[in-house]
Amino acid sequence: MSSETISEGDQIVIQKAKVLKVVQVRKGRKIWLDRVQFSADELIGKPFGCTFEENKGVLVQVSRTGSEDADNAVEEGKRDNRDLQGDQSNQKITKSEIQEMRKQGVSGQEIIEQLVENSATFKKKNTFSQEKYLKKKKKKRVYQPQFTIMKPTTRLVADMYYSRGPMRICNMRPDSLAQILALGNVRSGNRMMVVESCVGVLVSAMLERMAGSGLLVDMYSGSAPVHQACECFNFTKQHKDILKTFPLDRVAELHGVEKKKAWEEEREKEGEEEEEEKEEVVEEVKEEVEKEEGAQKKRKRISPEERDERRIRKAERIKEMKEVLMRADMDGLIVATKFHPTPIVLSLLDFICPSRPIVVFSQYKEPLLDLYSKLKERGGIILLKLTETWFREYQVLPNRTHPLVNMIASGGYILTGTTVSQD
């Protein structure tokens, strides 16, 4: 994970402007990026951070040119764009001529230089407008846009998942994720519990920060945990070994007899209410079962011995994690889930040491308000605070520093508190 060069089997992040894509480098693999195809073999041995452009299926490494040319602009007050008019006649080079240059193998940089030389208005623009013009041309596919190969990090992976679909990660912005990690005191050597419905983004961020030291217990719901985002990182075996899992529906077994009995009674009441609904869908379930049985015949069957062996291993893992949790020496709890957080947090507080943080994230404030009142009634938690995450991105350039025009209205809400002994 510490290597600065790209090796076969590594996960890489391809960044083109604001578009991010994670791929695994394998010999002979063809990588597609914005209708451009190139071979992954050309990336092996290159250092992370290199910038490339594609030319007839071959990658050409280029130097990263930022806004150095515009940084020296001091005469901006002398010129403006008020007399300029956008007209196709301002550019002497036609689209067909540009396509012909592409076929001849002319680089994107050379094409842009030709556009600048044949523009009737480029030199009349102020320096800032010239820079915006060049950036706009570099982003277009016809001018061979550049892309950079980055090492997977929490920020890049969180940005990628958020841009693809915020609801998949509970509308958790990267800045909200950073606050969660800081408020939860996630660091190397800690023993943490996490409950998340963010396809593994929160789990992978904690694994990266813990650096292979400590213990991370993922309390998952359903039949198996979802750690899709963890596959985007180049985690070593040491990083992966500290991650353990435990099913949420087995937490009641860890509590005392009275609490377990109360939990079972509550479940019985819920079961009675759901009984009528179940009867209505019996026929539908039967149809689905029949379809599944037909589909299972086509799947590869697992031998009874292998199935029993898997069950034994799973039972051993659960038994081991029960012993770990019953010590009640966890260093913190972080929750970011699509479910109501109140029953989850209340059932896990007993396993946390005193003077440890709890952090609960939700895209809505109402569930956190309910949890806030329940924790006040229960006691054992101090410094309860409910905050809204707010973020504004700024453009920072010489003589052009200002907030961006478009921004996200809300990044969710965070409830924090500190556990104390009730003895």
CATH of the domain at 123: 3.10.330.20
Percent of the chain with pLDDT over 70: 79
Residues 191 and 264 in one domain: yes
Residues 115 and 200 in one domain: no
Question: What is the SS3 assignment for 295?
Answer: helix
Task: Please report the pLDDT score of residue 328 as a whole number.
Answer: 86
Residues 145 and 166 in one domain: no
- The reply to whether 283 falls in a domain is no
Task: Please report the pLDDT score of residue 223 as a whole number.
Answer: 82
Give yes or no for a contact between 101 and 111, defined as CB atoms under 8 angstroms apart: yes
Residues 377 and 343 in one domain: yes
Task: Please give the average per-residue pLDDT across 142-162, as a whole number.
Answer: 86
Q: Residue 56 class from Cβ within 10 Å (0-12 exposed, 13-18 middle, 19+ buried)?
A: exposed
Residue 188 contacts by C-beta under 8 Å, 6 or more apart in sequence?
209, 210, 211, 212, 213, 214
- The reply to whether 294 falls in a domain is no
- The reply to whether 286 falls in a domain is no
Q: How far apart are CA 327 and CA 292, in angstroms?
A: 42
Residues 205 and 250 in one domain: yes
Which of 131, 151, 171 is the C-terminal boundary of a domain? 151
Give yes or no for a contact between 210 and 170, defined as CB atoms under 8 angstroms apart: no
Is the pLDDT confidence value at 189 over 80? yes
Is the pLDDT confidence value at 98 over 80? no
- The reply to whether 279 falls in a domain is no
Residue 84 contacts by C-beta under 8 Å, 6 or more apart in sequence?
121, 124, 125
In the chain, % helix, strand, coil (3-state, to 5) comes to 45, 20, 35
Is the pLDDT confidence value at 281 over 60? no
Question: What is the SS3 assignment for 353?
Answer: coil
Residues 107 and 146 in one domain: yes
Going by the DSSP 8-state scheme, the letter that residue 327 receives in this structure is T
Domain CATH number, residue 324: 3.40.50.150
Residue of higher predicted confidence among 183 and 105: 183
Task: Please give the average per-residue pLDDT across 369-386, as a whole number.
Answer: 94
Task: Please give the average per-residue pLDDT across 25-50, as a whole number.
Answer: 84
C-alpha separations of 75 from 65, 83, 85 in Å: 22, 18, 22
Is the pLDDT confidence value at 200 over 70? yes
Main-chain phi, psi angles of 325, to 5 degrees: -70, -35
Residues 125 and 165 in one domain: no
Q: Which helix (H) or strand (E) holds 36?
A: strand 36-39
Which structure tokens are listed for 43? 């990336």
* Domain ranges, residue 128: 1-67+92-151
Which of 116, 151, 186 is the C-terminal boundary of a domain? 151
Residue 205 contacts by C-beta under 8 Å, 6 or more apart in sequence?
154, 158, 177, 181, 186
Give yes or no for a contact between 162 and 174, defined as CB atoms under 8 angstroms apart: yes
Q: Minimum mean pLDDT among 191-200, 227-236, 242-251, 254-263: which range?
A: 254-263
Give yes or no for a contact between 203 and 243, defined as CB atoms under 8 angstroms apart: yes
Residues 236 and 345 in one domain: yes
Task: Please give the average per-residue pLDDT across 108-125, as a whole number.
Answer: 75
- The reply to whether 78 falls in a domain is no
- The reply to whether 218 falls in a domain is yes
- The reply to whether 9 falls in a domain is yes
Task: Please report the pLDDT score of residue 237 as a whole number.
Answer: 92
Residues 35 and 118 in one domain: yes
Q: How many residues does the chain have?
A: 423
How many domains does the structure of the chain reveal? 2
Task: Please report the pLDDT score of residue 217 as a whole number.
Answer: 94
Which structure tokens are listed for 110? 């050379």
Residues 147 and 159 in one domain: no
Average pLDDT across the chain, whole number: 80
- The reply to whether 39 falls in a domain is yes
Which structure tokens are listed for 287? 């149809």
Residue 396 — pLDDT band, cuts 50, 70, 90? confident
Give yes or no for a contact between 383 and 415, defined as CB atoms under 8 angstroms apart: no
Is the pLDDT confidence value at 374 over 90? yes
Residues 182 and 256 in one domain: yes
Start-to-end CA distance of the chain, whole Å, equals 45
Which of 151, 170, 198 is the C-terminal boundary of a domain? 151
Residues 218 and 360 in one domain: yes
Task: Please give the average per-residue pLDDT across 58-87, as a whole number.
Answer: 58
